[in-house]
Structure 1
Amino acid sequence: MRHSETRAVITGGTQGLGLAIAKRLAGEGAKSIVISGRNAKKGEAAAKAVSALGPQCIFVKAEMGNVDDPKRLIATALDKFGSVNALVNSAAETGRGTLLDTSLETWEKHFNTNTRGPFLTMQGVVQHLVETGRPGSIVNILSMVIYVGQSYLTAYSSSKAALANLTRNTANAFATKRIRCNGINVGWMDTPQEDQTQQAFHDRKPGWLKEVEAQQPMGQLVKPDQLAGLVAYMLSPESGVMTGALVDYDQNVAGRYPE
């Protein structure tokens, strides 16, 4: 029960990876969990499922791209539970666009959701921890595309790369306060959102996952339940002084070339 003292906020916690993390923390003894997302019906159902595992879990409807929502999310968590010592920024905008066809609106939408939103939730949690003198841990969900990214991920890869820098900057700035901040560069992952994206933007047909997974080195895409274990470890006291780390979580090694 390594999370018996954990009070967590998880953005994008209503499905996929965010929900898997919430359930993992619940199973490891977390006392209170706040999840956020865009869909109230889905969010309430997710909170009920997490609460059934033991902790108090509430859903806060929030659009991370709106400047006021990330602030309200943290304020609500603090008002409801009194303290927050764990934060996971999992919500993300994943639209497509190359350098030449990405509009300014699309660019700003990605940076508002993927970079500014986490900046504001981190700011709120760190401010609380500094004021109370308590330790805490933050995990930002990044992507392997921070290294380059496909041509059609111009805004997405750029916004995640900015968040990677913010992760390390925060880790360095608050290490002496015992506030740790780490990130995970996630490879191609099997989530409900990814299924929608593949069908909407890449003309994939239902059942595309089986074909794609057969082409991967380990015969699968990243699974949320697997990754949730790493996030739980990074948030927990077991990860000790680990901070400023950007962990590649992928079966394709960065920098590899065909034999």
Structure 2
Amino acid sequence: MKDLLSGKVALVSGGTQGLGAGIARAAAREGASVVLTGRNTARGEAVAAELRATGTDAVFVRADLCDVSQARAAVAATLERHGRIDSLVNAAGMTARGTMLDTTPELFDQHIAVNLRAPFFLMQAAIADMVRRGEPGTIVNVISIDSHGGQAFLAPYVAAKAGLAGLTKNAAHAHRWDRIRINGLNMGWSATDGEDVTQQQTNDAGADWQEKAAAELPMGKLGQVDEIADFVVFLLSDRSGVVTGSVIDWDQNVIGGLG
């Protein structure tokens, strides 16, 4: 399939690296004009320049999503540049560790701010524009397979991502008659930039950790950024039909399966 997002305007949060950057590239390849947000100006400008070199209308808007006003400003910048927003991807996130016993209120609040509150208010602003114009739109929230329960050392992360899964369904139900389709993707273990940092710096894994991990997985590989990005773009596009309110497990382990 080609030109799945031809003529569309897409805002991608967390588009400066990893999966967010992969989604920005995939959306651009399929014809979208792309606005990407993040905190790292150098990385963001580099991704935007890369997309512009391919002929895409792409721009980076710096935003610290812990600040609701900056999240809203990213949508406002999109509207100022293009006059509308057709698609939103909430790909920004944080995975700092914390258990039920050692998580501080500050760490908990950071997780809620980045992983739940920011997507909420980005969605609010984007949906408001779609409703005002009376036009359909699409949203994909990048959640996590950990929203089903996760590991003990990810307690605040799980709390926030489980909230985002519920929010995805609530918003999809609320705005189905506005023809705004909202879906979520529960990412499993994937070969992202962030995961590479976690494995090598937090888990003291070697540079070959991906190869070792892949050998122990059913499909013989971790989730790949380009594959996930293509699926997100499919969900953003008309080719995904009427699907809304779905939170899809992107993983090779089956929740509830034993042995």
User: Is the TM value for this pair above 0.5?
Assistant: yes
The one-letter code sitting in structure 2 at the alignment partner of 1:228 is A
Residue of structure 1 in register with 2:130 after alignment? 129
Structure 1 gaps of 5+ residues are none
**1:205-255 deviation digits (Å, cap 9, x = unpaired):** 332222112111111110110011111110001111110001111111111
Q: Distance in 1 between matches of 2:48 and 2:144?
A: 26
- Where in structure 1 do 4 or more consecutive aligned residues deviate above 4 Å? none
**1:179-190 matches, cutoff 5 A:** 179-190=180-191
Q: Distance in 2 between matches of 1:197 and 1:104?
A: 23
**1:1-259 matches, cutoff 5 A:** 1-30=3-32, 32-258=33-259
1:247 alignment partner, SS class? strand
1:33 alignment partner, SS class? strand
Q: Cα RMSD between the aligned structures? A: 1.0
Q: Distance in 2 between matches of 1:63 and 1:221?
A: 29
1:106 alignment partner, SS class? helix
Q: Distance in 1 between matches of 2:204 and 2:156?
A: 21
Measure how far apart 1:188 and its partner are.
0.5
Q: Distance in 2 between matches of 1:150 and 1:192?
A: 20
1:218 alignment partner, SS class? coil
**1:183-222 deviation digits (Å, cap 9, x = unpaired):** 0011001111111122332222332222112111111110
Measure how far apart 1:53 and its partner are.
2.4
Q: Distance in 1 between matches of 2:7 and 2:175?
A: 21
Length, aligned pairs only? 257
1:139 alignment partner, SS class? strand
TM-score (norm 2): 0.97
**1:104-145 deviation digits (Å, cap 9, x = unpaired):** 110000000000000010000000011110100000001111
**1:43-66 deviation digits (Å, cap 9, x = unpaired):** 100001122223210001111112
Measure how far apart 1:166 and its partner are.
0.5
2:143 alignment partner, SS class? strand
Any conservation in 2 of the 1:29–1:54 contact (CA below 8 Å)? no
TM-score (norm 1): 0.97
The one-letter code sitting in structure 2 at the alignment partner of 1:14 is T
1:35 alignment partner, SS class? strand
Report sequence identity in percent. 43
Q: Distance in 2 between matches of 1:233 and 1:17?
A: 15
The one-letter code sitting in structure 1 at the alignment partner of 2:231 is L
